[in-house]
Amino acid sequence: TDADECSSGNGGCSQNCTNTVGSYECSCGDGYELYIENGQGGYSIASGETGDVAGDVLHLNHSCIREFVLVNSLHMCL
């Protein structure tokens, strides 16, 4: 039988946790994206941390970071 990892501490997810058979997945709400690799969005894993451990500031596949949005705003002086 499957364990519901989300039932305990939200599976370690910083936002949404979805239980799946044999595993679980974290996801993020609007304006955020899941942190899946070091350096993503300009966010680096803190020194002394691996990003693989619950409790790390940025936990890979668990933490959500602000989505990087390209703002296309041109200011033209006429």
User: What are the residues binding Ca ion (CB under 5 A)?
Assistant: 2, 19, 24
Min CB(51)–Ca ion separation in Å: 22
If the CB atoms of residues 17 and 45 are measured against Ca ion, the closer one turns out to be 17
Type of residue found at 16: N
- Give the nearest distance from C-beta 22 to Ca ion in angstroms: 6
CB of 24 or CB of 35, closer to Ca ion: 24
Q: How near is the Cβ of 70 to Ca ion at its closest, in Å?
A: 36
How many angstroms from the chain centroid is the CA of residue 18?
Answer: 13
User: Cβ closer to Ca ion: 10 or 40?
Assistant: 10
Q: Whole-angstrom Cα distance, residue 4 to residue 1?
A: 10
